[in-house]
Structure 1
């Protein structure tokens, strides 16, 4: 009986093999995404400028990707981890989370030469969502996507500023 108690303790509290974390994390993840689309863009910019130097570079992105780790496997970010991060942290649809996971293509090491200003990164968020994602009619099916794509359609580049 003591061995069973120790095994349960190890699985749920120590996180052996990443198994426990995948069971516990849904209860520990606190979702409080921004309501407005601009807030989502600004949150992503802030999250990706880890050292707050006004630039998003490969080092910042590498550090931010640690926030996508929900199963204790730092080597591989799985699609469900992108979906969780994009829906929970930012409030995007699951479809957009899958889209972003695909756009990264599993390559997390390809950001070494990435280095742009926060304002350019912010504009990149807006452009990717408006033109690339919402520009494809099949990405306007889910209620969340429909609402957010309608919202981005009303935005102009001059509106894209974080306070």
Structure 2
């Protein structure tokens, strides 16, 4: 019983006294992803329109990328941080997180000219997931991907709207 109390105390101190910026603590990451794919697309649109002006631009994306930081190093976005964000926040598979980390890796500083309406950003997510990701059969092996790719296959462009 004493060991359990010490473990709980250590986790509490570790997570609240600033040490977590040096080490990733999975116990402190709260996950509550949307269940349906459209909800994932809408959550990402909301997250990326940081200033709420109805447009996703480079400044918004730069600010949203701060949410991908789990280790306190703001200068380097690591693949595991993308995987954590995409699986925890949005409920995608680890493979999709890796896919997105790879797509972002070539865009460092390339978001300055990014500027589109929320509706276009939402449609871009749908198209990227349906065509670019699920269009590759190797991305339909993981049970999460299979379920989500089956779900996106049933969607039509006119279904892609957030409430």
Q: Scaled by the length of structure 1, what TM-score is found? A: 0.88
**Cα displacement string for residues 60-117 of structure 1 (whole angstroms, at most 9, x for unaligned residues):** 0000000000000000110000000000000000000000000012543110000000
What is the CA-CA distance between 1:30 and the residue it aligns to? 0.8
What aligned pairs does 1:90-109 form with structure 2 within 5 A after superposition? 90-105=90-105, 107-109=107-109
**Cα displacement string for residues 16-43 of structure 1 (whole angstroms, at most 9, x for unaligned residues):** 8x423x1x3x111110000000000000
- Which residue is 2:129 aligned to? 129
Gaps of 5+ in 2: 1-9
Judge conservation of contact 1:77–1:106 (CA < 8 Å) in 2: no
Q: Aligned equivalents of 2:78 and 2:133: distance in 1? A: 20
Residue 14, structure 1, aligned to residue 15, structure 2? no
- Which residue is 1:145 aligned to? 145
Aligned Cα root-mean-square deviation (Å): 1.7
Aligned with 1:56: secondary structure? strand
- Which residue is 1:4 aligned to? none
What aligned pairs does 1:44-123 form with structure 2 within 5 A after superposition? 44-105=44-105, 107-123=107-123
Query: Kindly tell me: are residues 106 and 84 of structure 1, through their superposed partners in 2, closer, same or farther at Cα, counting changes over 3 Å?
Result: farther
Gaps of 5+ in 1: 1-7
Q: Aligned equivalents of 1:49 and 1:108: distance in 2? A: 19
- Which residue is 2:5 aligned to? none
* Count of residue pairs the alignment pairs up: 151
Q: Aligned equivalents of 2:54 and 2:102: distance in 1? A: 27
Aligned with 1:74: secondary structure? coil
Judge conservation of contact 1:30–1:88 (CA < 8 Å) in 2: yes
Aligned with 2:158: secondary structure? helix
